[in-house]
Structures are given as C-alpha cells and as structure tokens.
Copies of this chain bind each other. A is one copy, B any other.
C-alpha cells in the first residue's frame, strides 16, 4: 500500500462500503494509474466487484449501499456533491462480467454513449467515432460489413469486445472491467486479454478476475482482497512469486483451484 505515486489517475483513501449494516469493504486505500493494468483478485464475495463499482459510483444504483472514505479522479473527489455522476461515468467507463450489448444495432450500441453526451455534431463525426472505437476494440474487421445487425447477434467474445468499444466510444479516462472474461470461452478470453494489453497506457485499466492465471497474464499490479479487506497490493510479479501476507500465499498456492 505504499506505492502511491503522484501520477495516480484515481486514488481511494480509507474507503469502506456498507450494504445496509453489513460492511462489504473495510478501509481500503488504493491507487490506479495509467501505465499499469491493475487486477483485483480474491475469493468470491470478498468485495472486488463492490469496490470496483464504487470507482464510478455504480453503487449509487443499489439503494442500500453507502460509501465512506475518499475517492478521487484526477484529484477531484468523485463523491463530492459538485461531482456530476453522469460525467463521472462517462470518464470512468465500465465493462461487465456478462457481455450486455443493448438490443440495438452494432452501430447504435457504439453510438449510444457519444449520442447522449453530444460528442458528435453530425453523422460523419459519429461514423468516425464508431469506427475508431470498434477498431480499438479489435472488432472493426469482423463487423464492418454488418454494422446494422443487432449487437445481440454476435458471439459472446464479440459481444464483450462490442461492450468495450461502447465504453471506449465516450472517450473515457479509466476503464473498469468486472470479470470480463468469465462468461467467455478460452479463445474469446485470449482476444480480450490481448486487447487489454493494447489498451494499456491509453486508459487506466482496472480488471477484476477470480482467475489468477489471468491476473498474472494481463496485469502489472495486483490487489488481493479478502473478506472486504485489501490484504496485499503490489507488483503482480511480486505478489505471485513472493507474497508478503500468509493469506495471499494460501490463496495463490491455492489448495482450492
């Protein structure tokens, strides 16, 4: 927890999250930067998703959820009343566990965000945004001839890349991914992992995974959560080869695959 640097894109300080009376996240501090992909790992129910969702205030939609502590984006407190949630979410994009394209055309899926935020003043601009986003998500070549097909008609892996394209289209600064591959087959998973590599550096990326191999493959930093606590946070290579905490070690060496 001592790697907090000045170049952090997002910082969390002493964050606790409650669902009603139940504490799901306990006093977690963490930094996310642009250079490194950060992975959150930990056993099921440890609070990875909960914490991830506090980063773009998606937890606001859960009536019982309550966040304590401070989270900043570029130094601005995102829970301050002056913070506009709508803009925050445009700047901190999110990709979910199960691919969730809208039941609209592929084009409309990608154009949705730019349209509601007014990022394109005309059709031509929009076309550019859609193409760029699909390209960045590595999906352009596969779908360029059928942009008007429904987004739900794509394969699972394509859908997930479409969701990434959709998130990219609003030009976010941070991308949060909550187990983006857990619903995908190995080939699609490999494609997404590749994509994360490509996107690194352009966006601050946080990825939740319960698959340690995956964390090892895609991330530079890893945070290990357990029972709502951040047990250990550091260089991925170090965490996996030389964990400092007993709990981390137990989990990594995993008697339980």
Q: Which residues of A contact B (CB under 8 A)?
A: 43-44, 185-186, 189, 211-214, 255-257
Chain B residues lying within 8 Å of A257, measured Cβ to Cβ, are: 211-214, 257
**Beta-carbon contact of B43 and A185 below 8 Å:** yes
Residues of chain B with a CB closer than 8 A to A212's CB: 257
Structural contact, A255 and B213, CB atoms closer than 8 A: yes
- 5 sampled A-B residue pairs with Cβ under 8 A: A44-B185, A211-B257, A212-B257, A213-B256, A214-B257
Docked CA distance A55–B51 (Å): 45
Tell me the bound Cα distance from A186 to B253 in angstroms: 13
Contact of A186 among B185, B189, B213, B255 (CB under 8 A): B255
CB distance from A194 to the nearest CB of B (A): 13
How many Å from the CB of A186 to the closest CB on chain B?
4
A148 to nearest B CB, angstroms?
28
Note all chain B residues with C-beta closer than 8 A to A256: 186, 189, 211, 213
> What's the nearest-Cβ distance from chain B to residue A157, in Å?
13
